[in-house]
Every structure is written in structure tokens, then in C-alpha cells.
Structure 1
Amino acid sequence: MAATGPDAVYAALSADDEEVQRPMEIESMCMQCEENGVTRLMCVRIPYYKAVILMSFECPHCGFHNNEIQSGEACQEHGTEIVLKVKEQADLRRQLVKSEYASIEVPEVELVIPAKSQPAEVTTVEGVLERVTSALQSEQDRRRLIDAESATKIDEFCAKLNRLRELEEPWTLKLHDPTGNCFIQNPDPLHVDPRCIVSHYHRDLEETKLLGLADDDATESTDNDDPVAEEWKSYDEVKHEILHFDTDCPNCAAPVKTLMKPTDIPYFDTVIVMATTCDRCGLKTNEVKAGGAFREQGCKIEVTIEEPVDLARDVLKSDTCGLSIPALDLEVGSGALSSRFTTIEGLLNATKEQIEQQSKFFIGDSASSDEKTNLAALFQAFDDIVSLKRKDITIVLDDPAGNSYVQSLTAPLDDNRLVKTFYTRTFEQDDELGINDMKVENYGELDGIQEEDEENEEQIIA
């Protein structure tokens, strides 16, 4: 029986199944010579992205040809902005998908490609520069005869684009698409892309009109009939802003500004990143706070280090999280390391540095040779773990508040080197977190007891 539904229309790109990948051919009129040409359509699903419709037209009479791409998905709830830092040849080969409503910007050369100036397409990062260069060079011969000065400036600009393609210096590509259907390929989709930032935003009225989702004469609504939508809009706007707070430097007491920004961790939660820099004494601090409340259960995370990719896992360690390495008989309490968002390797290096700083106070000239030898062996063990000379080492993060996180390499599937265990907190753990002292219900009873105690106290005094 033939397959039905969306999957029957949109097939994954494959070189093995020619029958599925055969395009549909439709006779259509050429817009150049008004003769009949052939339009070819193929509906495909791009891996780790969405469904798209590839279209190609060719006229055998005048030779005119054109190709275009349209999204097979509906407009997303929010627009998407992708910022890519291009540093290597692999970045130039990244696949890029954009709709006709997308705009592209390269700040280093002040290049802006506005929306609807180009058709939707599937290309590469290098292909974006090639298309701009080709379009500018197409009329240069005629332009040199009419306006030699403008032709010279265009030649200089094309030379700048060629330098970007040669990667003489890193450059930035910004892709802004109000449809939310843009895409830049991640070379390693199982891990966070270190040079690509994807963010989502709330479309303004002009972009909504551009997509045809609002009437051309529509205006901004000022009523508050939908408080939930208003709350979500304000929260979404805050997530894309860096907030500034005036405070004092903890080292020299000089006035400084603390920067704070909420950010979303995939498959986890929202966290708040804070950073402070003092221009007077040079102190730099950064801290990460959980954006939510204490979880109903504590969480114990065990990650085994076997490959280099394990050292690159993202880690969020909260203030309430303790760390232990059973193979080294090492246990670090929750207060030893401040909250931070780092990697497994960064967490190991921070733990080593913390021990080295503390050892200066309790390991001096009077210390025994055994104490110094044990400490040196511990530092060497940290170096062996980071260099993967010692494998099958397990790092345990125990957070009673449940607000710590270690990146999974196979999310949302199970990771065989990452084990999460949820448990019920003990009375002592709730007491350390201050949960036992929280009273969130039956306030009327508390008020009545307090009034009765005050009356008894007045009678005793009388």
C-alpha cells in the first residue's frame, strides 16, 4: 500500500532511491519569451531542518532558466535570527536555507541584502557571497562606460567580498527571517554549534504585514484583552536584552555595572547569566543562576569520560550542586565552586585551580612529604583525565535543588555515558535549602495564632 500523509510527499534527500527523488515536470509559460517551458518540482525534507519545495524552470526556446525554493512549512510562531562567525573553510561550506522574506547582513563590509530582493534558495555560506559578486559584476562593462567612478567602487567592494571568501580575517553572517523557516547547517548536529547562535523573536507589525498575516491598514493594538500574550511578548523581549544593574565591586568597592541576560538551554530550562567587570582593579566575575524554582526532586548526574567529545559537554553547575570523582576519592562541596556554565574540561580545570589555591594555605614548608606527594599525584590525575590518559573516569554532580545540567550527546534519545537519577530530598537537605522554613499556605491560621499569642502576652504583662 502506498504511503500517505506528509511523509509521502516530502522525502528525505537520498542518492539510493531514484524513484522517490524523481522530480515532477509541469509545462508552464516562459515569462521571458512567452513560449512554453518546463517547470520541475521536487518536495524534499532537509535533515535536521524542515520540508522544502525545490523548483526549477527552463525554456528551450530562449534559454531562460530560473530556480527557486519555497518552504513546505507554515510560518512559525516567532521569527528567527541566526548569527554565524565564519572562521574556517568548513564554515563556508555550510548549507544555508532562506525564504524570500529573509534579509542577510555582513557587518564587516556593510553588506545588507534586504527582504524580497532575492528569491528563496538553498545555497551555502560561500554561495551567498558568490551570488552578490556575480550580480554586481554582471553590468560592470556597461557601467564603466556610463559611470566609471561607481564601477571602480563596485570593483573595490567585490575585492572585499573575495577577501572574505579567502578567509583573510573572520567575518560575521547575520540571517534574519520573520517566517522562522531559515537554517544554517551545523557540521556536528549532536553538539552545540560554537560559532553559530540561533535566537527567536516576536514579529513586529511591519513584518506581520510583510508575511500577509495582517491587513495593510492594521495598526498596533493598545487593548489588554489578552494578558497572557502581552506577558509572553514582554518576556520574549527581555530574553533578547542585556540588563544593566549598578553595584559595587566586591574587591575594591568601586561602582561597576553587572550585566544580566536570560538564555534557554536546549532540553533543560531557562538560566540567568551574570557578569561583572571592574575597570579599576580588573576583577572579572561571571555567574549562572537557575531561572526557575527548586525542583520537586533532587538530581544526581553521572557522566563517564571516554572520548574527547565527553570533555566538551556543556555543564551548568548551580550553587547547590556538589561534585565528586570516585576514582580519585575526591569530593567537592556545593560551596567550594560558584555556579557556572562551562564544559566538563572547564569544570575539571576550575576544580584543580580551586584546590591549588587552597593548598597554598595548608601545604607549606612544614608539611610532610607524603602530603606533598599526594597533592602532586592528585594534580597529575587531573591532567591525565583532561588529556584522556585515564579513561572510564566518572564525574558525579549531585544537586538537591535539581537545577544542574550536563549536555546529552544524543538528546532527546538516551545517552549511554550519561546517567540521571532523581531522588527525594532528605529533611536535612530541605533544611539546607530553606524549604522547611517556607510556609506557602494557611496564612489565616498563622495570623490567628499570632493574634492569640499577642493577647496572651498582654494578659501576662497586665
Structure 2
Amino acid sequence: MSVVTEDTVRCRDVFKDISADGEDSHPTEMESLCMSCYENGVTRLLLTRIPFFREVVISSFSCPNCNESNAEVQSAGRIQDSGICYTLKVQSKQDLNREVVKADSATARIPEVELEIPAFTQKGSLSTVEGLLDRAVVGLERDQPARRATAPEVAQKIDEFILKLKMLKEVEEEFTLIIEDPSGNSFVESPVAPHKDEALTVTRFKRTVQQDMQLGIKAGDELEEQLTGSDPDGMCNDEVQTFNTNCPECKAPASTNMKLVQIPHFKEVIIMATVCDECGYRTNEVKSGGATEALGTRITLHLTGPSDMSRDLLKSETCCVLIPELEFELGMAALAGKFTTLEGLLVNIKDLIVSENPFLCGDSSSEDRVDRLKLFGEKIDKIIAGEMDIHLVLDDPAGNSYIQNDHAPEPDPEMKIEKYTRTFEQNDDLGLNDMKTEGYETQ
């Protein structure tokens, strides 16, 4: 029998890839107490790695005495840097088949029927929109016999509410499903990916102090505290500062290097890089060295050849990326802030949409979806090779993104830079609505 130690956890040896031939892929069984009849039942645990997604813990419990059973899926990966919110307009029965990963930290809401499933009241699940509705119905129906005996009026109102939930599955009228997860580990399928899904809106947000406390993490991590306490004006461009931190993946001690860099004809930015010697995890992130600009910036570059791929590019975490010719739009914070080249950004986009897509393989995959994403990846390769004429748009409401002008200080004939007034909603996304917003547009 293998022994689970801190070293094996750090090296991820306990998480095995799914394999029909793997001897170590069988679940671990243990005797555990049934909370229904208080007799002993059996809990089965499987620590596995889902390709293109992340490590998960799959558990199930069954009791032979009272036939109680349940199943649960928990993310074994790290809490993401930002929270995520999916807003889905369910317009047809086909939308009920969209796959949903709902972490236990996620809140699910359907405003039309005033349904809200608070965070941490249900276990994590991999299901569909219809499955979420069925799960809510089963949960409400479970205690109805007792309610009818003790509070018949309450039971009648719940029966009426259950009927409303069941009618939603007929989709006679459009309704809205909102999944909001501060951990960032939930997911709602887009069947038209990588194209823009008109029925699905994805937004990312910074967690509040209360949400950090709910997730069991500090209100401000050590690195942020050290950055806040440091003197940016005292940094020089040649100085690299190092901060001690923990690896986001294996939690082993690691270090983050930070350097202040002046981008020609633009502004100063802070580049941060973390490397873990234990598990090999690497990440880099770019933050603007200045404040949010008074106006948003939209940069449109016409790519005319392979030479454009070497242009330096700064994409802030508030920037959206659009490629109109591919009907592609990458929302705010889908990729962290990056200081890279055009080729590097396109490679990152391909990895995010194709290589790391959680529903590209296994039972969740379909031939049509795989072919569509494969075609998207091939088009990105053609763009990088200079074989496809496109326009790349960086739309940053904070005004902190940049594409190198090869003709500087003269204007670039292939690049258009527009300044615009932010909407009220964009100010809200940037956390600026506690400031004076008079004069801003509203949608």
C-alpha cells in the first residue's frame, strides 16, 4: 500500500491520469459513518487528473443499510487569481444540455423565479443546466413529507415553487442562469467556442475581503502587502526585487521577482515572475506602473506580414482581445496581464482555447466541437505564419495596453488608436464607481 507524504503531494504523484490500463487508477475505499442511519457505509475516493482541466477529487458514498448515496467532485487545484461569473440566457431546450462545472464555492441564481443556491450549500458537481434544475428540485422535495405534516402551508408554497422549476425545463419563456464563483473554478460550456456566444456572458472580478475569508485565504496575500508597503518611486529600472511567497500549485516555498520597466513611448510597467523549483510551475504577470487613465483605449492593428509577429505588446488584465475576421473575442482578465510579442499573445490564445479547453476530450467532447476548435487553431497558425490577413484589436477601458509602433515617433499607417469615454458598467468592472461618475455614458 502506498503512503501519502508531503513530498508525494508536492510532486503530484497521488494524482493519476485517467487510464483503463492503469493499475493505480482504481478508487480507494474506506469505511465511514452514514449520516442518515448512523450505520457504517463505504466512501470511495479517486484522485485523478482530467486532461486539459485540472486535478480533481471524485468521491462517492453508499450505505447498504438505508440505501443512502451521494457523489461529489472537488477541485484539487489552486484558487484562481480572480473570481468568475457566467450569465447564460437559456432560450431553447438545447441550452439545457450545456455542461456546467459548479464548484461548491459558487452561487447559482435564476432571477425570473427568485431561485438562489448560496455558496457552500451544495457539493461541487459536473452536470448540465437541466441537471442543476433537477438537483434543486430533488433537494426541495426531500423534506416535503415532513413539511406537509408539520407546516402544510409552507409545503404547498414549496410545491408551487417546485412546479415553476419543472416548467423551466420546457423553456416556454427565456430565463437567466447566473453562476458566480469567487474561486474561479466553475465553468459553463459555450457550444460555439471559439466564436462569441451571444447567449453567454463571462466576466471576471476581484474578490472582496469577505469572499477571501469564505475561501479561507488572506484578505491580502503577502506579496500584495509587500508591494503596497514598498516605495515604487525608489525602484530603479535595473533593480530586481525578490519576495518570498508560496507556489500557487504545490504550496512549496518559492520566490517572485519584480522589476520596473520603462516601455518606450508609453509608460512604466511592473513585470513579476514566479518560478517553483519543487514542481516546475512558472508564471509571469504584468501590472501597470501608473493609475487608470481618464479615457479607455482601443488599438486596432492591421497585420500585414510575419514581421508584425515580433512587435512588442502589453496587454493589461483589464484588456479585451478581438479578431473580427475570426469572430473571436477574449474577455477582460481571461488572460493575465502580459508583456510579450504579437506571436506570444496568439500562442497564448491558442493554448487557452484549444489545448486547455476542459471539454475538448472525453465524454464531454463532440466531433463537431473538436473540428471547430481544431480549425480555429489552424487559423491562428496561419496568422502567425503571415498567411492570413486580419485585424487585431486591444480594447482596454483602463487605457493601460500598448502595441509597439515600428514607425515611432511617426504614426503607424497600419495602426489606429482611439480614445473613448468609459461606460458606467466599465467603471464598475474597474472598481471606479465609488468615485464621481457624472458625465460617463450608460448603456
Q: Normalising to structure 2: TM-score of the pair?
A: 0.51
Q: Which runs of 5+ in 1 are unaligned?
A: 216-220, 229-268, 270-288, 303-339, 347-400, 436-462
Q: Secondary structure at the match of 1:55?
A: strand
Is 1:43 aligned to residue 47 of structure 2?
Answer: yes
Separation in 2 of the partners of 1:117 and 1:213?
A: 19
1:149–1:60: structure 2 CA closer, same or farther, 3 Å change rule? closer
Pick from 130, 151, 160 the counterpart of residue 156 of structure 1: 160
Q: Give 1:114 shift.
A: 0.8
1:97, 1:57 → 2: CA distance?
20
Alignment of 1:294-305 (within 5 A): 299-300=303-304
Aligned counterparts, 1:335-354, within 5 A = 343-344=324-325
Give SS of 2:184's match: coil
1:108 corresponds to: 112
Alpha-carbon distance in 2 for matches of 1:174, 1:428? 47
- Structure 1 residue 18: deviation in Å? 6.9
Residue 130 of structure 2 corresponds to 126
For the residue of structure 2 that corresponds to 1:90, the secondary structure is helix
- Which residue pairs with 2:441 in the alignment? none
For residue 149 of structure 1, give the secondary structure of its aligned residue in structure 2.
helix
CA distance in 1, matches of 2:37, 2:326: 64
1:175 alignment partner, one of 179, 187, 201: 179
Number of residue pairs the alignment of both structures matches: 275
Mark the runs of 5 or more structure 2 residues left unpaired by the alignment.
1-7, 220-224, 233-285, 287-295, 307-320, 328-341, 351-372, 388-403, 417-443
- What amino acid does structure 1 have at the position aligned with 2:92? E
Q: What residue in structure 2 maps to residue 88 of structure 1?
A: 92
In the superposition, relative to structure 1, how do residues 420 and 29 fare at CA in structure 2: closer, same or farther (>3 Å)? same
Distance 1:175 1:161 in 2: 17
CA contact (8 A) 2:405 2:412 kept: no
8 Å Cα contact 1:39/1:55 also seen in 2: yes
The Cα shift of 1:43 comes to 2.6
Which of 17, 31, 42 lines up with 1:27 in the alignment? 31
Q: Secondary structure at the match of 1:41?
A: strand
Give the aligned partner of residue 191 of structure 2. Answer: 187
Shift of residue 11, structure 1, vs aligned partner? 5.0
Match of 1:203 among 184, 190, 207: 207
Identity fraction in percent = 34
> CA, structure 1 residues 149+100, in 2 after alignment: closer, same or farther (shift >3 Å)?
same
Q: What is the RMSD of the two structures over their aligned residues, measured on CA atoms?
A: 4.6
CA deviations 1:414-459 (Å, max 9, x no partner) are: 6465466499957997476899xxxxxxxxxxxxxxxxxxxxxxxx
- 1:7-86 correspondence runs (5 A): 9-11=14-16, 17=21, 19=23, 21-46=25-50, 48-86=52-90
Distance change >3 Å, CA 53–CA 112, structure 1 → 2: same
* Superposed displacement of residue 161, structure 1: 1.0
CA 1:420–1:162: 2 relative to 1, 3 Å: same
Q: Secondary structure of the equivalent of 1:82? A: strand
SS where residue 70 of structure 1 aligns? Answer: strand
Residue 38 of structure 1 aligns to which amino acid in structure 2?
V
State the secondary structure of the residue aligned to 1:80. Answer: strand
Contact 1:96/1:124 (<8 A) preserved: yes
Instruction: Using CA pairs under 8 Å that are at least 6 residues apart, name the structure with larger relative contact order, 1 or 2.
Output: 2
Query: Aligned residue for 2:309?
Result: none
Q: 1:158 to 1:72 in 2, by over 3 A?
A: same
| Closer/same/farther in 2, CA of residues 100 and 431 from structure 1, 3 Å limit | closer
